[in-house]
Amino acid sequence: MAGRDARAARHRFMRAGAALLALLCLGGFALMPSSSAAFTAIAGGPASSFTARATFGLSQTAGCFSDNGTGGCTTAAGITDDTSVVVSPDGKHVYVGSVAKGAVSAYTRNATTGALTQLTSPTGCYSNASVPGCTTVLGVMGALFDLTVSPDGKHLYAVGYSTHTIAAFSRNATTGALTPLASPNKCLYDNSLSSPPSGCASAYKIMGADGIAISPDGAYVYVVSVQSNSLTVFSRNATTGVLTQLSGTAGCYTNSTTSGCTTASGLGSPFAVRTSPDGTSVYVASNLSNAVAVFQRNMTTGVLSQPAPPNSCVYNNGSTAIPNCTAVRGLSGAYNVGIAPDGATVYAVGNAGNAVASFTRNTTTGVLTQVAAPNACIYHNSSTAITGCTAARAISSPTSITFSPDGMFAFVAASVSQGVAVFRHNSSTGVLTQLSTTSGCIALSSTTGCTTGVGLGTATGIAVSPDGRDVYAVGGGGSRGYIAVLNFTH
């Protein structure tokens, strides 16, 4: 799809359920049991009643949150049409972003069971409009598509697509409660707005802000904005949380020549931005360009530059050629980016092509090289085959990809498949191999080769806890919202 409005419209027409999921399988790895476990989905029981897991081996529990308590789930406030989820660096709290409510909801996490408990009002959620049980933060988080927590755990930042804003909160590391920064730093807004929100400061080229990432050192924040076709750069005060846009052309990069910005390749309708674990690279998934733009990052100044042609970006080989870039497979409708924990491999979600493209990464230059056939990408097994790629189950319209902290597993959320697929990840070659039998995927409705689950409607966002024990998936679309959990130990 070419824009966030189109994506949101599709969400509203997607079927949604409610519950909690669990998945995992493993065999033949050191320190792991040799047996594998299939998915088990349980329709009933609140998230607070997860059973404790064994201290060693694979186990699964189930439960969920929904916006209205249906589907055997516990009701949570402010979670309609969820698209993003993050776990705090200390593993104590989980935060979920909602498009329809323009809200951030907050939960404590039980590190033993993975269970979530929403914080009590007024700190259980913050919303752009009046929502029962939430604190209103008017005008700063409309259509919230993405959020991130700083590496030191002190601050949370969220982007508002319809309000053209970047909201900033301080975080209480003990309770998980969020507090908007004081005026004039409650948010940043695009300087073209005729009626800007109160308590905020202006920035340039953040119209339709919809993706955000923070550098591993916590010193810089990167934001992509679909209407501005831009990537913007901000320094971060680690004490106060205040963001300040870099001056001059270092503060923004645009897909075409724009006064005051640096022109970059592959930034047509950017949806997501990610930084490499070593902090030397930044990658942007651009939906209209069907591309991933590549940037090298100055670790001291935060300033970005693109590698020399033809490595400034990679783009889908069936799309319009992009100067300075290289054609690859599997990037139709580029939607999101995932980087393995060791930084050696990068994966891009091609939503329109029902594919995930695989790349090795030059850790010195950041340049991406597509993995050789037949592992150049994985594509949904009932969609059009992609030459040089391998079919996989339950990845129709993939939306996000993430990894276990040890890098052994990759998890892909897919909105049309309404489920999550799991793959073994080869950190040396970049090859993704789906787990066999029903251990390889779980889906809302009966899907050949997958376990049938519940609460997986329009799966969009996914995150893994720092201890590697839990995976949190969110979705819903339109008037529904869900939070689901995968538990595992090894």
Q: Return d(Cα 400, Cα 387) in angstroms, integer.
A: 22
Distances (CA, A) of 172 to 88, 140, 176, 210: 11, 20, 5, 25
Distances (CA, A) of 152 to 85, 340, 342: 18, 21, 20
The beta-strand segments (E) located in 31-92 are 64-66, 74-75, 82-87
Q: Return d(Cα 48, Cα 58) in angstroms, integer.
A: 20
Residue 30 is predicted with a pLDDT of 30
Residue 442 is predicted with a pLDDT of 76
State CA 286 to chain mean position distance.
14
Q: Which amino acid is at 85?
A: V
Residue 10 is predicted with a pLDDT of 40
Q: Which of 476, 437, 471, 440 is nearest to 457 (CA)?
A: 476
Q: Return d(Cα 132, Cα 125) in angstroms, integer.
A: 10
Superfamily of domain 4-47+59-487: YVTN repeat-like/Quinoprotein amine dehydrogenase (2.130.10.10)
Q: Which of 154, 120, 155 is nearest to 135 (CA)?
A: 120
Residue 343 is classified by DSSP as S
pTM of the predicted protein model: 0.89
Distances (CA, A) of 35 to 52, 426, 451: 20, 20, 18
Per-residue b/e over 249-258, b at no fewer than 16 CB within 10 Å?
A: ebbbbbbeeb
Residue 62 is predicted with a pLDDT of 52
Positions of the chain with pLDDT lower than 70, given as ranges:
1-62, 71, 446, 453-456, 486-490
Residue 54 is predicted with a pLDDT of 35
Residue 430 is predicted with a pLDDT of 98
pLDDT per residue as tens digits for the range 201-242: 999 999 999 999 999 999 999 999 999 999 999 999 999 999
Q: Which of 91, 57, 77 is nearest to 483 (CA)?
A: 77
Residue 258 is predicted with a pLDDT of 95
Q: Return d(Cα 47, Cα 487) in angstroms, integer.
A: 12
H-type alpha helices, 342-403: none
CA within 13 Å, CB half, 29: 16
Residue 193 dihedral angles phi and psi, to the nearest 5°: -70, 135
Q: Return d(Cα 349, Cα 412) in angstroms, integer.
A: 9
pLDDT per residue as tens digits for the range 61-74: 657 888 888 767 78
The verdict on whether omega for the bond into residue 310 sits within 30 degrees of 0, i.e. cis, is yes
Q: Return d(Cα 164, Cα 269) in angstroms, integer.
A: 14
Q: Return d(Cα 77, Cα 129) in angstroms, integer.
A: 13
Q: Which of 165, 146, 164 is nearest to 95 (CA)?
A: 146
Q: Return d(Cα 90, Cα 72) in angstroms, integer.
A: 30
Pairing of strands 178-180, 165-171: antiparallel
Pairing of strands 390-392, 377-380: parallel
Contacts of residue 373, Cβ cutoff 8 Å, sequence gap at least 6:
387, 388, 389
Q: Return d(Cα 225, Cα 250) in angstroms, integer.
A: 16
User: Is 105:82 a contact under the CB 8 Å cutoff?
Assistant: no
Residue 488 is predicted with a pLDDT of 60
**Hey, is 10 helix, strand or coil?**
helix
Tokens of 207: 């119209």
| HEC letters along 409-462 | EEEEEECCCCEEEEEEECCCCCCEEECCHHHHEEECCCCCCCEECCCCCCCCEE
